[in-house]
Amino acid sequence: MADKSKSNEPKPSLLEKWGGFVKFSHTIFALPFALASMVLAARAGFAVLEPEAQEAVPLMKLGWPGWKLFGLILLAMVTARTCAMAFNRIADRKFDAANPRTKNRHLPAGKISLTSAWTLCILSALGFVATTYGIDMVRDAHQGRLVCFFLSPVALVFILGYSLTKRFTDFTHVFLGIALAIAPIGAWLAVNGSFDFSPNIKDPLRHSALLPTIMAASVVLWLIGFDIIYAIQDFEFDRDHKLHSLVVRWGPGNALTASLLMHMLLLALLTLFGLFAAFKMAYWIGLIIISACVLMEHWIARKRSLDWVQRAFFNLNGVVSMVFLIMVVTEVSLVGRFVSWRLW
């Protein structure tokens, strides 16, 4: 009876298989930073406009670049992340099959074919490149300048290349950080089409391209820290199969210390970011929440089992990225109009 009821269950569609294959829900890690950068870029783009032009796009002051550009940035993030995750699963399929923790993933378990995986990877890559072209055509600032389109292959090299790094370098976590740090840089370019570190306007620092640069550096530190924690789960497997990571190189204890150092530097950078962006109380409240999540993650990594490590990786880091987006949107869109106090 049990076998018969199983056979009557509807089979998942190809799209459902692809969604599970690339863990679509994990887009939450990089996407909030891209959207936060988009909001800041729109505010900066508004600041450099002439007063007559500002009247035509009042919502840019509040961080809104328009539905078309927002949709294309969202699509670029989804296609890039899908391409990267599909390639990662393809590149690691033999290791995944040998690892008890990952042997039930779609490729080693036969839930999806290698041809289907490559199809998703290639279609996503083509979709990403095409989307960057659309961004360059839709963007108001420097419309038609193909900066995103020409840089899209460079982005693909980084986001795909990460999957191969653990075969030859212990600093694979750094490459993952760089891959995700492309998100805020790309979103800024998507809105403004250029990187101006010193715009010729009043209060240039809060509208400077220094902000997405600090954000990108923060993402690198954040990723290094939590990817080290995540890699502890596979310490013995990676060591036995000659795969590289800082956990294998230094051992779990020393690697956790390095992870904590990265996250302390992250909090310092986020403090600097808030000062440069001239944010007010909402940002600092959010930073307290982020700090608590980071410290909780390290407590769990040192005091709890590996099952808890996985929960810390997904839940707490999801909270970190979403809180960051919420506090940036709140500061740009709401608080600036109602609250005059700021730390600097």
Q: 204: which residues sit within 8 A by CB, 6+ positions away?
A: 198
Binning pLDDT at 50, 70 and 90, where does residue 338 land? low
pLDDT digits (tens, 9 = 90+) for 170-219: 999 999 999 999 999 999 999 999 998 888 888 888 899 999 999 999 99
pLDDT at 323: 95
Half-sphere exposure of 186 (CA within 13 A, CB side): 38
User: Could you tell me the domains of the chain?
Assistant: 13-338 (1.10.357.140)
Among 140, 153, 154, which Cα is nearest to 190's?
140
The pLDDT score that the predictor gives to residue 344 is: 44
pLDDT of amino acid 18:
61
Output the pTM of the full model.
Answer: 0.90
- Cα-only R_g, the chain: 21
Weakest mean pLDDT among 22-36, 132-146, 198-212, 313-327: 22-36
Write the burial class of residue 303 (CB in 10 Å: 0-12 exposed, 13-18 middle, 19+ buried). Answer: exposed
261 φ, ψ (degrees, to nearest 5) = -60, -45
The fraction of the chain above a pLDDT of 70, given in percent, is 86
Q: Collapse the DSSP code of 186 into the 3-class scheme (helix H, G, I; strand E, B; otherwise coil) and give the result.
A: helix
Tens-digit pLDDT profile for residues 51-100: 888 888 888 998 999 999 999 999 999 999 999 999 999 999 999 999 99
State the Cα–Cα distance between residues 112 and 342, nearest whole angstrom. 53
CA dihedral 22, 82, 15, 74 (to 10 degrees): 130
Here the tokens at position 159 are 């986001």
In the prediction, which pLDDT does 16 show?
Answer: 61
